[in-house]
Amino acid sequence: MTSQPGRNRDQSRLDLPKIVAFGDSLTAGFGVPAEESYPAQLQRKLDRAGYRYRVVNAGVSGDTTAGGVRRIDWVLKSRPDIVILVLGANDGLRGLALAQTRANLEEIIKRLQAAGVTVVLAGMKLPPNYGSDYTERFAALYPELARIHRLPYLPFFLEGVAAKTALNQADGIHPTGAGYRVIVDNMMPVLEPLLAKVPQG
């Protein structure tokens, strides 16, 4: 199938089904070039694998789950097919009430699902210095929400990256481009069953 006359590659990509990467600085790609962020690397991996989707980076540095609730309408305006939800780390690092974090995540999930969007939830964990009770209850929010709402689930967004000096920037929190590559590799087995593959040629 050939492109219509006058339609360039960028315009064709705009018409593709959308995967929205919805999150905070870990999604935005704080501290790395835009092309090294996880959404940009995910786009390239999907392209190479023959999956025809447009990945939209909806990451906002410093965002909390409350900020995510305020941005749901904006995300829905792009008419996403899939949303990868990576929020909550900033809530935890600020010691916000877990009940409110959970309620916010649940509202985001319910509103996206009500619009017919497939939600992929990525779990988060906190450093142990925040106290075992808080960190354990924080981490437990994610698998519980995934189970209740029957979501495709990536147990820990930073699996294989967290606490590895070579894969993190100097702040020890934000991955390098190589770290985001690991994240995308971990994400693909969760995401791939949801994707429609278009035969090439």
Residues constituting the chain: 201
Per-residue pLDDT, 131 = 85
The burial of 50, by beta-carbon neighbours within 10 Å (0-12 exposed, 13-18 middle, 19 or more buried), is given as: exposed
Domain boundaries defined on the chain: 14-190
Q: What's the pLDDT at 199?
A: 54
Does 149 qualify as catalytic in the annotation? no
- Report the SS3 class of residue 129: helix
Q: How far apart are CA 196 and CA 192, in angstroms?
A: 8
For 77-101, the pLDDT digits (tens) are 999 999 999 999 999 999 999 999 9
Residue numbers in the chain where pLDDT is lower than 50: 1-7, 200-201
| pLDDT at site 7 | 45
Vertex 118 angle, CA 33 and 52, to 5°:
55
- Confidence (pTM): 0.91
pLDDT digits (tens, 9 = 90+) for 136-159: 999 999 999 999 999 999 999 999
| Helix, strand, or coil (residue 175) | strand
Phi-psi region of 153 (alpha: psi -120 to 50; beta: other; left: phi over 0): beta
Query: Which among 24, 37, 91, 174 is annotated as catalytic?
Result: 174
pLDDT attached to residue 50: 93
Q: CA 135, CA 61: separation in Å to the nearest integer?
A: 22
Run of H or E including 56: strand 54-59
CA count, 13 A, side-chain hemisphere, 177: 7
Catalytic residue among 24, 25, 63, 91: 25
- DSSP, residue by residue, 130-169: G-HHHHHHHHHHHHHHHHHHT--EES-TTTTTTT-GGGB-
pLDDT value at position 129?
A: 80
Q: Find out if CATH 3.30.70.260 is the number for domain 14-190.
A: no
Q: Note the pLDDT of residue 52.
A: 94
